Amino acid sequence: MPAEIYLNVAISGILTGLVYGLMALGLSVIFGVIRIVNFAHGEMMTIGMYIAIVIFSAFKLDPLVMMVPIAAVLFVFGYALQASLINPFINRPEHSQFMLLVAIALIMVNVLLIIFGPDAKNVQTSYAFDSFLVGPLIVDATKVYAGGAAVLVSAILFAFFRFTYIGQAIRACADNYVGALVVGLDVKRLYALTFGIGAACVGAAGAMLVLIIDVTPALGPAYTLLAFIIVITGGLGSMPGALLGGILIGFTEAMAGLLFTPSAKSMFAFALLVLVLLFRPQGIMGKRTT
């Protein structure tokens, strides 16, 4: 095979990986602050994807344009979920929190299954088959737009956590829970905001990903696991780590699909997870805590 094919596939994998990164960023933010593992993360993304599909088939509105309202819907959803169900579980044992989210995820997948049925759905945009020619390389236009949008949203999120008062308050909660309570921060509300922000991230990622892949309700659990793999690889709680992990997984999957068979690509992601858990459990960008 000529070298361009490898480069083409690599670029395509990295662009998809940016969207994965945004998805994982949501999980990382939620874990980093609330210390709750959102086992319903992929399911929330499929909700975002289905909203995009419904809007597209009803009004022919492009998912990338609708990204902001979709993220807003998911934000409200995430906020409500944290404020109502998850906040009372903050001090429960780890496995108890995990079961709660397993239950929520189970309900989400199957409600989607009841509403939309098991068949794969997608959107057909006018630019679905466009591509850019960069020298000898052919780059898929859809993936460029999706990857660009993911970078933009991530940048906004970084700025939010660095420069706004609420963002700093949320980081304070993450750094020192008791300290945040002592200085009078409304931690429960900030937790709800954080979960909302994480949900908004994954909703936006869903709006982008729906351009690249078909959606079925069963996609939820698979992407929850993928998000975990990315976040653990990149370093749980590290925002740049999540993006980097996403790119790494996107690249690995694309290469595995080219060199072996596309249906076996997730095995490489699992292998990567096992290696990281064993040899660098804090992840690539994570800090060693113990």
Partner 1 sequence: MIGQLFEGVPARALVLGGLLLGVLVAAPFLVNDYLLTVLIIILYYAYTGQAWNIMMGFAGQLSLGHALYVGLGAYTTAALYVHFGVSPWIGILAAIPIAIIGGAIIGFLAFRFRVGGVYFAILTIAFAEFARVGFDHFSWVGGSSGFFLPVANYSVSDLWNLRGKPMMFYYLILTMTVGAFVICRLLLTGRIGYFWLAIREDEEAARAIGIDTFRYKMFAVILSAGMTSLAGVFFAFFYNNLFPEQVFHISRSIELILAPIIGGIGTLFGPVLGAFLLTGLSESMHAILYKFGVDIPGVKQVFYGLCLLFVVIVLPHGVWPWVARVLGIRERRS
- Site of interaction with partner 1 (CB under 8 A): 37, 85, 88, 92, 94-96, 98-100, 102-107, 109-111, 113-114, 118, 217, 221, 225, 228-229, 232, 261, 263-264, 266-267, 270-271, 273-274, 277-278, 281
Nearer to partner 1, 76 or 264 (CB): 264
Question: Shortest approach of partner 1 to residue 97 CB, angstroms?
Answer: 9
Question: Shortest approach of partner 1 to residue 254 CB, angstroms?
Answer: 17
Nearer to partner 1, 73 or 106 (CB): 106
Nearer to partner 1, 168 or 261 (CB): 261
Nearer to partner 1, 23 or 71 (CB): 23
Nearer to partner 1, 104 or 123 (CB): 104
Strand partners, 133: 138
Question: Shortest approach of partner 1 to residue 264 CB, angstroms?
Answer: 6
Question: Shortest approach of partner 1 to residue 63 CB, angstroms?
Answer: 25
Question: Shortest approach of partner 1 to residue 273 CB, angstroms?
Answer: 5
